[in-house]
Amino acid sequence: MPEDDVLLRARERAGQLGCTPVLPGSGAALTVLAAAVSARAVVEIGTGAGVGSLYLLRGMPADGVLTTIDLELEHQRAAKEAFAEEGVKPTRTRTIPGRAIDVLPRLTDGAYDLVFVDADKESYPQYVEQAVRMLRPGGVLAVDNALWHDRVADPARRDETTTIIREVGRVVRSDDRLVSTLLPSGDGLLVAVKR
Ligand SMILES: C[S@@+](CC[C@H](N)C(=O)[O-])C[C@H]1O[C@@H](n2cnc3c(N)ncnc32)[C@H](O)[C@@H]1O
């Protein structure tokens, strides 16, 4: 998917900061998902330099608010630059600094239309559990790097990160509260709707 200058500059800042943004294929899917559920209240776990945030905001209605969490203030500063370049009203984004595992329990049950998980992979199981709690019925969970550079599908790969992401896929698929699929776009986007 071709990206415009705002996205390309955000991607460049991400590169300078050493954080890996969502790939264009998954980003486009996020925009569609946000638009499909008319997502007014969205949480992103792992702001980075704001590439994923831009894709989400582009699918959300004009009065939608994106809450995005990251422990690196420098990353959130870069994301704010991207939001300013995009012309996003300040009231549409709430950037929360901190460890996601400390911040998430403060967010309300059943209040969110979409939760996007894209921070430290080791904590994905806890983030998914928190996301299911925070989503309203019909809300969407999206988890990036679900294929983890094609390692998830290779049974010979047994390193810790691959094993955790593989397990998250299994847990989401067998969770009766969710209807799920794995989109093979970008680095794999695990998508689920809360029943
Ligand atoms: C893959 S990058 C996020 C990319 C972003 N979603 C995008 O598409 O542009 C992961 C981010 O998670 C943040 N992060 C890592 N561990 C975290 C934690 N425990 N709590 C909150 N953020 C964390 C990192 O600082 C980094 O900015």
- pLDDT digits over 65-120, tens only? 999 999 999 999 999 999 999 999 999 999 999 999 999 999 999 999 999 999 99
Helix (H) or strand (E) holding 183, with range, is: strand 178-183
Place of tokens 């400390």: 102
Fold (CATH) for 5-194: Rossmann fold (3.40.50)
Q: How many CB atoms lie under 10 A from the CB of residue 142? A: 26
Angle of helix 24-36 relative to helix 51-59, nearest 10 degrees, comes to 30
Distance 118 CA to ligand 1 centre (A): 6
Answer yes or no: is the C-beta of 152 below 6 A from any ligand 1 atom: no
- 8 A C-beta contact, residue 101 and residue 75: no
Pocket test for ligand 1, best of 74, 75, 93 (most atoms within 8 A of CB): 75
CA gyration radius, the chain: 15
Pocket test for ligand 1, best of 44, 120, 165 (most atoms within 8 A of CB): 120
- The domains of the chain are located at 5-194
Q: Is the pLDDT of residue 1 over 90?
A: no
